[in-house]
Structures are given as C-alpha cells and as structure tokens.
Amino acid sequence: MKKNKEEMNRFQFVEAVDNPVHKDHDEEKEETVTNNTQENEINKKQRNIMNNLYISFQVRVVLLLIIVLTCVSLGCISIACALNSTRKEKVEYMESADVVYKVCVPTEDPYLTNCLDYSNQFLSSDVKKIQVDFDYLARTKSTRELNLTYHITAINRIFDKFDSSKKLYENAEEIVPETNIEYENNQAIKSNTFQIDFEKYNNFVLEYQKDYSYSSEASLELVFWINNGEEEYQTGTMNIPLGAEKFVMYKNFETNKKRVVSMKKEDNSNKSSYLIIVGTVLILLAVFATTHLTKLALKTINKQSKYEKRLNEILTDYDRIIVEARGGYTSNTTKEVVKVTKFEELLDAREMLKKPIIFSKVNNIKSEFIVEDDNKLYKYVLKEVDIENEMSDK
C-alpha cells in the first residue's frame, strides 16, 4: 500500500507539472488568434478607407478637363519654344568689291610678258592675257560669323550688231571655282589674282565672224558671284569687248552695299530636342485624357448607367415593400447599425422583422436601403463605384 501511494504521488506530481504546460499552450493559441483578429480588423479598416476614397463622376470630368487643357497648353508652348529656338535671325553686313586689271602684251623675249596698267584703249592684236586682281570686303557688327563663298564665271556672247538682244552664241564657263572667304575680327576679306586668256576668246570670235557673220559683235563678261548661304548674287561685273580692232574694258562694282542674311540661331539643338520631347509627351497625355473623357461622356449619353439600372431593378422588383424617404432618412434614436453587403441579406432582415424597406437617395451615385426595429438598424448601401469594381473583377 505504501508503495502504491508513492506511485500515485509520483503520477500526481507529473500531472501537476504537465497541466501548466497545456495551459500555456492554450494561452499562446489564444494570443495568436487575437493577433490575427486584430490584423484582420486593421486590413478591413484599410480597405474601408480605400473604398471611401471615391471620386464622383462630376469631379472626374472636371479633373480630366483640367488635365487636357493644361497638357495641351504646356505642350503647345514647349513645341513653340523649340521651333522658335531654331528660327533664323537677321544679320546685316556691309560689303565692297572691286577689280584692278592689267593688260599683258608680249615682249621681244618670248618667255616674258609685260603687264601694263589699264588705260583707255588697247589694240586687240597686241593683247595676250589680262590680269585681274579681285578684292572683296564684308564687315558686320554682329557676333555671328559670316559664311561667305565666291566664284567667277566668264560668259562669251556673240550677238547681232544691229540688235543686241538677238543672241547668236553664248557660252559660260567657271574660271574661278567656288572658294571660301576667310572671316576674322568681324570681317570677311578675300583677294585673288587670276588671268584671262584674251587671245583665246578673241580668236574664237574672229573665226565665228569669218565663218558665219561679219555683222556681229561679241564680248566677254566676267561675273563675280557671292553666296552668303541664303542666296547667291552678283557683286560686280567686268566687260571685255571681243572681235574688234581696239577695245575698252568696263567694270561695274558696288561699294558699301548693305546686305542682310538670315542665319540660324546659336546651336540650341539639345534644348530644342528636349522641348519637343516634353511637348510631345504632354500632347500624348492630353490625347489619353481626352480618350478617357470621351468614354465618360459616352457613358452619360447612354440612357442608364449600370448603377441606375441596378437601382431601378430593385425599386421595380420590390416596390411593394419599399418606401421612399425624400430628403434623406435619419433614425430618431441611437441604434446599433448593421451594414449588409448584399440587398438579399437586407431582404432576409426584412422578413425577420416584418418591417418595410426604407429607400433614401443620397446623391446621383449613392443610395441607401434601411430596415430597422427598436434596437438595430440594418443598412445596405448601393454605390456606383462598387458596381464598377464588381464589373471590372469579372
């Protein structure tokens, strides 16, 4: 018996030790359940907050209109600034040009020629070459660099002696190819010396007159061309008669002639590209917002929205048990509010309480259906946003 009592005591001890352990485990489970419940409550509150952040139809339309107008305005301004930065600016410059020519005649030494300064008259048979010294100067007050080139053409013309407008022959050739004019210190300066083979041109005319017509006259016109990047124009001419026994040369050059050239503004290509990109993005945003605004507009054109259809279905199907509270409904006493998620659940509450369903229109996109007794108030809220979310989830 003594031994049995000791064993019983031992088992009782073990039981006494084990029981607290099971109790602690149960407490841990209860704490876990409590924590999960709290987390669910927090998540539920957060979802409720997100659901309450609903933007009405009218506000969405106004916001989209503001976005469209703002994006279009800023986009047009950006693109206009980009185009303006690539426009040209007017640059004025004063130019002067002139030639000094010398007539080269042969000497007793066949390897030497004597170039004399121009005088009034020359014998054609004595002239071999004509040396021409061309000088050009352009000045500007602008900080922009002038990009000028020049070239010289020789035009050999043979025309009727009695009617100079009647051309018998004409040939143009370039005797000085297009050449850059150096620019430095707000000045473009060029000096060039070249020779005209007068004997070659004169002999050609004499042969032509001999073979075709003695009643003709001829000339060699030197045209001095300037190209400023925008236009090409004559800065002067020089006329040399051909086929005559004697000849006198003429020149026509302008000095201190005011010119205007349109030049691109300073390189703002990076800025222009950035403005164009920004403007394009803004225009695309405006197009996107306009598309969304159009969808909203089409929604209003339709006879009924999904919210209105659902509301009319409820009011039509259950008109016998629904009463409308105009101007909203407020309970006279403080009651426990039970919110149901479906209208069918509200019907169950109505069947249980044997009370009518009170319909209250809050605004154009929200309505409330209420069933109440002495202690509780059951409420079903129908909102346009909820219906849209249900359709999007499907």
**pLDDT digit string, tens, across residues 170-179:** 999 999 999 9
Residue 335 has pLDDT above 70, yes or no: yes
Residue 277 has pLDDT above 60, yes or no: yes
Mean pLDDT of 181-206: 91
pLDDT band at 14 (very low <50, low <70, confident <90, very high): very low
Could you tell me which residue, 312 or 58, shows the higher pLDDT?
312
What region does 383 belong to: left with phi over 0, alpha with psi -120 to 50, or beta?
beta
- Give the least confident one: 38-47, 306-315, 328-337: 38-47
Distance CA 195, CA 101 (A): 9
User: Across all residues in the chain, what is the average pLDDT?
Assistant: 80
Residue 164 has pLDDT above 80, yes or no: yes
CB 81 within 8 A of CB 274: no
Could you tell me which residue, 386 or 207, shows the higher pLDDT?
207
Mean pLDDT of 25-46: 58
Residue 167 has pLDDT above 70, yes or no: yes
Mean pLDDT of 299-317: 78
- Please name the residues in contact with 279: beta carbons below 8 A apart, sequence gap of 6 or more: 74, 75, 76, 77, 78, 79, 82
pLDDT band at 87 (very low <50, low <70, confident <90, very high): low
Return the pLDDT at 64. 82
What's the pLDDT tens digit per position in 59-73?
777 888 888 888 889
Residue 265 has pLDDT above 80, yes or no: no
Return the pLDDT at 86. 58
Q: Which two tokens stand for residue 187?
A: 């000045």
| Burial category of 1 from C-beta neighbours within 10 Å (exposed 0-12, middle 13-18, buried 19 and up) | exposed
Question: Which residue in the block uniquely carries the two structure tokens 């920004």?
Answer: 278
CB 124 within 8 A of CB 246: yes
Residue 315 has pLDDT above 80, yes or no: yes
Report the relative pairing of strands 357-363 and 322-324 from DSSP bridges: parallel
Distance CA 210, CA 202 (A): 12
Could you tell me which residue, 329 or 236, shows the higher pLDDT?
236
Residue 342 has pLDDT above 80, yes or no: yes
> Considering only CA atoms, which of 202, 194, 262, 254 is closest in space to residue 228?
262
Return the pLDDT at 1. 45
Domains of the chain by residue range? 88-264, 306-393
